[in-house]
Amino acid sequence: MLEVKDLHVAVHASEGLLEAVSGVSFFLQKGECFALVGESGCGKSLTALSLMRLLPESAQITAGSVTIDGENLLELPEKEMQSRRGAQIAMIFQEPATSLNPVLTIGDQIVEAVLLHQKISKKDARSKALEWLERVGIDAPEKRFEAFPHELSGGQKQRVMIAMALACEPQVVVADEPTTALDVTLQAQILELLKRLQKERGIALLLITHDLAVVRQCADRVALMYAGQIVEENAAAEFFAHPQHPYARQLLAAVPSADKSKGLLTGIAGTVPELGAMPKGCRFAPRCKIAKKECTCREIPLIRRTNQASIRCLRTDSIISLEKFVEAPTSKSGDIVFEVQNLSVSYEKKRGILRSPLFFDAVKNVSLAVRAGQTAALVGESGSGKTTLAKAALGLLEDARISGKVMLAGHSAYDGHGHFDAKLHALAQIVFQDPFASLDPRMTVGECIEEGITALLPGMEKAQRQHRVNELLDQVGLAKSAAMKLPHEFSGGQRQRIAIARALAVEPRIMICDEPTSALDVSVQAQILNLLRQIQAETGVAMLFITHNFAVVEYLAHEVAVMRHGELVEAGCAHEVLAGPKTSYTRELLAAVPRM
């Protein structure tokens, strides 16, 4: 249904025109799910945007063809391409909140797409839109039809995007990270919906993701990209059972799981090369554990072995093991340093001058504790109150009514009037999900890390503070020169390391990590998880790890607490909760987790 041949995409940069996608070729068959995987910066999204001809102004297609029904989309005038976009090939974007128009209702946006591509009346278009809202599992479709995007949850918005993409009955659907921001239950629902609609309507689905467990669950075939090239392609079952390319083998070794919990994860050193600094020969050679001199001498071709399998490597017959067990450092369990007792958090809902306010309970009567040197995972669906609990414990909530007790290293965090003791911020620090948003873009990395020391440890001299910054950068695996750079000069994984260094700057007893790896690639996630385990073993810091990634929980956590609708429904030893959950909700959560 779709064939891509020798696609080349270049990006305009200060150095000139740099090639970001180099000779990518693949095909999609009717009713098939084809997954394009790889780390951030490998060219996956640029490839997807090229198929739709939606590249940003800084990028351009320099060669290749994209064919549907024998017609090369790259040769069509833009006006004709507009009629193909949506009707023949549609796209589901990663972030529905930025893809939906905030000033139009959900119904109007779907009707607009249908009327653009199908010659039917507005009344019939409305009926079709309602039908698709119902088909994608939107509850009360008539009501949601009149709703605006901000009135829907993340999962509902993603369902609306799917309805909009499929309402015009395209032959090919491109799904670019469609479940990255969703919790496991919503992710399972969206994936099940896509698979069902794909089979019912014979749609060819191009799935772009860095979540290998999702690929294992959904894809028929897999293509692995690295530095703008496809380095391996195979049937999904064969790809996961017998990966051939060293990059594929190292990537799969970096995925966390319960059976790897006694050792450090096998990460991939280094990062994807910059466009202006592509290595000669094999582009993965600088990070490859078995590269030889011949790998760096010439361009490595993609060799097709069978109809489904192809590989770009000279060392596929190597018997050298890429996985080497390194025992993880262990930390000793100590006294309880973080405890909440009957904690409740509520927000006031104003209802006008003459009506009394209502209160919404975000967290209801929760009690849990974390010991020094231990990691407790806090899990549950979006909106279950996990982050609210963490922020309440650290005094980071405004306009909220907080009751109950919060103990930080034996000190009561709140006085009798509900005011947080600011002196205790040195005892407990937080690492946020998005390090780019939490780091001041105008401050150097050194200033970002030093700021907390200045505020919370005022007795420390400037020379001592600078020495401490250098120590922290070394501890999180960054060069001392990083202190003079700005946050935008670093990759996502490096920025998260900086955020961890900032949290450790005041030597806290408790560190709360709020989804610190959810936006990271598998290989970078492995580096961060290894780093957290090493830091905990060295410092004895207690960690409350908020996540919806159960693979991370299985690998990292000693204890698990499960929240739902603001309440704690189950808690206990990680192994016991994950192996034998006692509540139906925990069983539902675990059943929804995609497995490798």
In a domain, 357, yes or no: no
Question: What is the per-residue pLDDT for 207?
Answer: 95
Both tokens of 52, joined, read 């739709």
Same domain, 385 and 499: yes
Question: Is 409 among the domain residues?
Answer: no
- 88-117 pLDDT, tens digit per residue, is 999 998 777 778 999 999 999 999 999 988
Regarding whether 392 and 277 lie in a shared domain, the answer is: no
Question: How far is the C-alpha of 542 from the C-alpha of 520, rounded, in Å?
Answer: 23
Strand partners, 264: none
Final residue belonging to a domain, choices 295, 327, 359? 327
Same domain, 132 and 27: yes
Is residue 212 located within the same domain as residue 255? no
Is the pLDDT reported for residue 226 higher than 70?
Answer: yes
Predicted confidence at residue 437, as pLDDT, reads: 84
Asked if 384 and 525 sit in the same domain, the reply is yes
How much is the pLDDT for 352?
A: 64
- Identify whether 566 is part of a domain: yes
For residues 183 and 17, the model is more confident at 17
Instruction: Tell me, yes or no, whether 236 lies in a domain.
Output: no
Tell me, yes or no, whether 145 lies in a domain.
yes
Query: What is the extent of the structural domain holding 43?
Result: 2-219
Residue 320 has pLDDT above 60, yes or no: no
Domain end marker among 177, 204, 219: 219
Q: What is the CATH number of the domain that holds 442?
A: 3.40.50.300
Are 423 and 292 contained in the same domain? no
284's tokens: 């993965």
Q: pLDDT higher for 512 or 516? A: 512
Give the residue from 297, 327, 357 where a domain finishes: 327
- Per the rule left: phi > 0, alpha: psi between -120 and 50, beta: everything else, 227 is left
How many structural domains compose the chain?
3
Same structural domain, 320 and 430: no
Q: Are residues 142 and 262 in the same domain?
A: no
Chain segment 106-162, per-residue pLDDT in tens = 999 999 999 988 889 999 999 999 999 988 888 889 999 999 998 887 778 888 988
Other beta carbons within 10 angstroms of residue 418's beta carbon come to 10
Question: Residue 473 has which token pair?
Answer: 């950068």
| pLDDT interval class at 18 (50, 70, 90) | very high
H/E run at residue 445:
helix 445-456
Q: pTM higher than 0.75 for the full model?
A: yes
Q: Which residue has the higher pLDDT, 276 or 226?
A: 226
Q: What is the pLDDT of residues 477-507, one digit of tens each?
A: 888 999 999 998 887 788 889 999 999 999 9
Q: Is residue 238 part of a domain?
A: no
271, two tokens: 């990062």
The band of 223, judged by pLDDT with boundaries at 50, 70 and 90, is very high
Classify strands 221-226 and 229-235 as parallel, antiparallel or unpaired: antiparallel
Residues 379, 261, single domain; the answer is no
Average pLDDT over residues 393-422: 91
In this structure, are 189 and 304 located in the same domain? no
Q: Is residue 471 part of a domain?
A: yes
User: Does 304 share its domain with 195?
Assistant: no
Whether the predicted pLDDT of 319 surpasses 60 = no
Same domain, 210 and 267: no
pLDDT band at 323 (very low <50, low <70, confident <90, very high): low
User: Is 349 within the bounds of a domain?
Assistant: no
Among 448, 299, 312, which Cα is nearest to 25's? 312
